[in-house]
Chains A and B, each alone.
Chain A
Amino acid sequence: MILEGKKAIWNDYQKEIADDKYYYVRSCVRQNFFPGSETAFLKIMREELKKDVYEHPCHTTCTGIGYHGDIVPVETTMTVVARQFAIMTEAGYENLLPSCITSFGLYTEILDTWHHFPEVEEKVRRQLRKATGREFRKPKNLAHASDVIYKFRKEIASKAKYKLVNKNTGEPLKVVDHIGCHYAKMFPSKGIGGAEYPYVLAGMVEEWGGNVIDYPERRHCCGFGFRQYLVQANRGFSVACSKEKFESMKPFKPDMIITNCPGCPMFLDRWQYVINEMEGKRYGQNEEGIPVFTYEEVAGLVLGYDPWELGLQMHQTDCEPVLDKIGIDYSPEDKYNLKIIPSYSESRSLINV
């Protein structure tokens, strides 16, 4: 692999990311899948980076799953999204910051559609006005939450308590970065590093001390791909997709996987358990699984947050092997002890309206 070639591509795909005053929209599913991640994101943004991040309780689904599942018509989707924009406009914000990759992809797709077909935008404006009486301005800046963590990766590194380094060997951890399909595959220019060699997570990993693995099935879907999983009859295909990736990455002996999509960590994490149950196979070292993390969880770990405060006990593939390699101080007996951690209680008033 020729690193210089990759660097040239990374330089080709950079984008503007707002510096402050974000309107944050949560994911529909992440709070069930990995409930600590969005909480950790807000804590990092507000408490570590001192950024203004605003969210509104009237924000709804973007309909992305229904849209990609052919359940919700595109005009309905656009009108729902227009309503999100209207709430953002009313709150006085211009920088839209979605937590979900599919929402990010959908917002990007809709803004691009309106750019090419202004008459569609006008129609949606009429529909929104008729249905809700609301008006909206389009976002001045649209960045996925992982873009923002990428933007501030050096600041996070400067505050880091831990590095993605094996404390016993001093070697960088070998990290698989898995990018959500809707991040840049539809609009490569909207993703850091583009679609083929995305840099958004690789940049974080590098900055925080790890090494990214380039393995053959790097681009392959995690297995969520809505029709694979949401259609029950296709779920075997979903597991097969994940397995394809695990088989491909295993020879590279990864220490961990980092993801930036709601579904990817869920499926890469849960299906490892399922494959082990079905076939008795594990893909990590020492007959263990490969721990799977969201980028917020990794940022939180690097910053020294308590693993159980980050919600790592919700992972089905145990994350302790990585915690031990890094040398993170944690209490094994507190893993399933749901006592209220002081810093967690402070973060409970996150909704600011």
Chain B
Amino acid sequence: MSKHVIVIGGGVAGLEVAGQLSKVGIEVSLIEKESKTGGHLNNWYKLFPDRRNSSEVKEYLNGITANNGINLMTDTTIEKFNRSRSCFSITTNGGKELIADAIVVATGFDLFKSARKEEYGYGIYDNVITSADLEEMFRKGEIVLTDGSVPESIGIIHCVGSRDEKVGNYYCSKLCCVTAVKQAIELREHLPESKVFCYYMDMRMGGAFYEELYREAQEKWGVNFIRGKVSEASETIEKKLMVKVEDTLAGRPLKMNLDMLVLMAGMEMSAGGEKVAGMSGLKTGENRFFAAADNHFGSNKSNIEGIFYAGTCTAPMNITETISHARAAFTEVMEWLRNGKR
């Protein structure tokens, strides 16, 4: 069958669904706004729960997209979106018009912009960094403060922009807890003399082997977990970071001086996804991610026939779930092309 599918977004979900579609002979155009594919995976060093190198997953994704004739369009955004009765037409920023029989939206997520939590001082105080910044340090193999010295005490704040009514994000980003546990272990591995403190609301260790990792962090690596929200960070005259936090288990407020503060940024609907939603008429939910046609048996379907979702454009997911969701999207697209499309 000669059909053309446009996949919007070249992250994990987009690559997976594009690879699966191309394997069965579907003509695929993969549109990616950045200069290379891989999405957030490009910025991550090791992955939870087994701390494998992220490059292994990238190799897998590159493998399934290579040599299958995918029309990869990097540095490309969508400027116009039209739908006729049975086809979709997309115009890119380069003025190219693409006609497709189906579309898969895989626009992924953006990390919450941590500067919006002004009280934590990201962009204001030296040595307040995000989980993504820390991954970059891991990749370079150099965990240092702005003055070049090695941090001795490091705090990790969970739920930054997640489960936070103040910033309009009621939902749980779900992966920050396990990312914090993973990064806390890695910090202790890199800096055996350091002390690491995690400030959490709840430890949501819902994935396979997450709880085991959490236990390992405590028993093997001596990471300190403090149940309580950090209310504010500030800078002392010695350029240390002072955080105020309520230890809800001890029932008392704490003030701690730290060398480095890591903010576990949550996940939000991507700006690219919002743009696509705005021009296509695709519905978004209360959490601002794309709204699935049905939460139980239609999570890949949208409110528009022939447009499907894959991955974290619908909700926070880990890589395992993202790949599964992308494969499910592939199934839905095939069903549509074979039997649904009029």
Contact = CB atoms under 8 A, between A and B. Distances in A.
Whether A and B are associated in the same complex: the answer reads: yes
Interface of A: 1-2, 4-6, 8-9, 194-197, 214-219, 251-252
A2 B123 CA distance: 7
A147 to B, nearest CB: 20
B66 interface: no
**Among B119, B124, B125, B126: residue with most chain A CB under 10 A:** B124
A196 B126 contact: no
B118 to A, nearest CB: 4
B237 interface: yes
Contacts of B339: none
Nearest to A253: B237
Contacts of A218: 234
A2 B118 contact: no
B234 A5 contact: no
A304 B123 CA distance: 38
Interface residues of B, number: 14
Nearest to B242: A216
Nearest to B119: A196
Given A196-B118, A216-B242, A251-B237, A1 B126 contact: yes
Given A196-B118, A196-B119, A6 B124 contact: yes
B118 A194 contact: yes
B124 A5 contact: yes
A287 B232 CA distance: 31
B295 interface: no
A217 B124 CA distance: 16
B236 interface: yes
B45 to A, nearest CB: 25
**Among B123, B234, B235, B236: residue with most chain A CB under 10 A:** B234
A197 B117 CA distance: 12
30 contacts: A1-B124, A1-B125, A1-B126, A2-B123, A2-B125, A4-B123, A5-B122, A5-B123, A6-B124, A9-B115, A9-B118, A9-B124, A194-B118, A195-B118, A196-B118, A196-B232, A197-B118, A197-B124, A214-B235, A215-B234, A215-B237, A216-B234, A216-B235, A216-B236, A216-B242, A219-B232, A219-B234, A251-B236, A251-B237, A252-B237
Contact of A1 (B115, B118, B122, B235): B235
Nearest to A195: B118
Nearest to A252: B237
Contact of B123 (A8, A215, A219, A251): A8
A216 B244 CA distance: 10
A197 B236 CA distance: 16
Chain A interface, >50% SS class: loop
**Among B115, B125, B237, B242: residue with most chain A CB under 10 A:** B237
Contacts of B234: 214-219
A8 B119 CA distance: 14
A251 B125 CA distance: 18
A5 B235 CA distance: 14
B119 A5 contact: no
**Among A6, A196, A219: residue with most chain B CB under 10 A:** A196
Given A216-B235, A217-B234, 19 more contacts: A1-B124, A2-B124, A2-B125, A4-B123, A5-B122, A6-B124, A8-B123, A9-B115, A194-B118, A196-B119, A197-B124, A214-B234, A215-B237, A216-B234, A216-B242, A218-B234, A219-B232, A251-B236, A251-B237
Nearest to B240: A216
Nearest to B239: A1
A251 B242 CA distance: 15
Contacts of A4: 123
Contacts of A252: 237
A8 B124 CA distance: 10
Closest 3 CB pairs of A and B: A5-B123, A196-B118, A216-B234
Interface string B235-253: 1110000100000000000
A214 B242 CA distance: 12
Nearest to A219: B232
Nearest to A188: B118
A94 B105 CA distance: 51
A195 B235 CA distance: 17
Contacts of B236: 216, 251
A214 to B, nearest CB: 7
Contacts of B237: 215, 251-252
Contacts of A215: 234, 237
B23 to A, nearest CB: 47
Interface string B272-290: 0000000000000000000
**Among A6, A216, A218, A252: residue with most chain B CB under 10 A:** A216
A184 to B, nearest CB: 11
Contacts of B123: 2, 4-5, 8
Interface in B109-132: 115, 118-119, 122-126
Interface string B123-165: 1111000000000000000000000000000000000000000
A287 B160 CA distance: 43
A196 B236 CA distance: 16
**Among B118, B123, B125, B232: residue with most chain A CB under 10 A:** B118
Contacts of A1: 124-126, 235
A252 B232 CA distance: 20
A346 to B, nearest CB: 45
